[in-house]
Structure 1
Amino acid sequence: MSISLRFVDFSNEGETFEKIQKFLKKDFSIHRVGKDDLFDKDELAQGNAVIINIGDEDSYAVCETITSIRNSRFGMLPIWVFGDRELTYERLLFLQLGVNGVFDKSFSLSELFLSIDNSIKYPHELQEQTKGIDSGEENCDIRLLHSNFSVSLEGNSEIELTKMEFKLLEFLSAKPKCTFAYKEIYEHLWHQEYHSSKRYRISNTIFRIREKLGDLDGSRYIKTVHSKGYLLNVEEVQR
């Protein structure tokens, strides 16, 4: 299996790319791409994942690139941000925008490699192993408890949510297995006109709900619909 990584470089130096290329080349093919060429030359169509080297660039430009990828037809591509400096402030911001991981100088390249390997290589191998096998869909009972803004999964103990988290889950539950657009979700929850720059508010709330439901990858309860929005992947919700 050949996995191709696109290395988006905000640095004018090639030293970081050469270091990462040397470390990853045994298991991945990695190609350096200028930030201005990422969409112009359709580089994303040829990659399985993206690594962004922030360099000394202001985080705003990197946020724009992440948002552009997530809003494109390649919005499901895994993204990692890498930097040779501390990214303490930027880490939460990048994660809210939907990146898979943030690695700065406090992390080793081995951790970056394992994160990529676990997110891409193993799922691909599992998909090959199970190809042609109909595993069926698992129906999960969800019960919304309005009295204390909590949810119960499959009759188990209650999981407490914030009011905003509960409202978002309740909104999705109005039509299970139907996709709700980012615009619909945002304007319903925040009662403001939607702009793509505000999408991080939705993704951040979804992340916290998934974390509490034990569904961080979104494979079971709340699914991401590429470039559109989210859906609640259950047959029925008890209210």
Structure 2
Amino acid sequence: MCNIGMLALRNTSKKRSEIEEIKQKHNVLEVTENLELLETLHAVVIVEEDIRDLSRICELISKIKNSSICYIWIMTDAEHSVGKLVYLQLGADEVFDLSREAKEVVFIMENSLLRVGQNGVEESITSENHAIELLKLIPTNASVIIEGTKEVVLTKLEYQMLELLLRYQGMAVSYEMIYQEMWKIDTGENKQYRIANVIYHLRRKIEKDIKKPTFIKTVRSKGYMLKM
């Protein structure tokens, strides 16, 4: 399963059938022009709803290209986007307009994302097995076995946090993504404080030295990363 960022520049974005189908197989996350979740994404879909969005989309393509190797797909509500050649020249991987069949769009996306899995399959398996050896979650006990010997019981939030970090181990998981995954609803509270509180208690249980954590690393101004 891959992470796909959906970036609509206007609030009038319509639901498109191809995106609804992609959602059944992959995580589709709403992102903003700040691209706060970029480090966790395998692809970004930018929705063009008005020709006036052209310059903003060009800036976004350049910004993404400078910070990530993820796929960049432009989805336009125009029959023939006047910016298509510009987007492709700047580095967009594909521009989908209304003349493309929804199934065709889905196949192109799926084939591209499949290569993401194939290219990293060996590394992913090795890394995942190593992670399991060091930290193995036991869902029935809501616990974790550390280095194959010590079993530690976790609270519900601690378990959810560790499961999330294990899922993206080796990648920086942003505060925003952690909050969306664990609490879903924005209550207006201090998100970083709430997340940091759970991390603190989790570290006390799984780290040998909480002041020099070996598993859960703080990624300054971004979030946290599980490092094995």
Calculate the TM-score normalised by the size of structure 1: 0.47
Calculate the TM-score normalised by the size of structure 2: 0.49
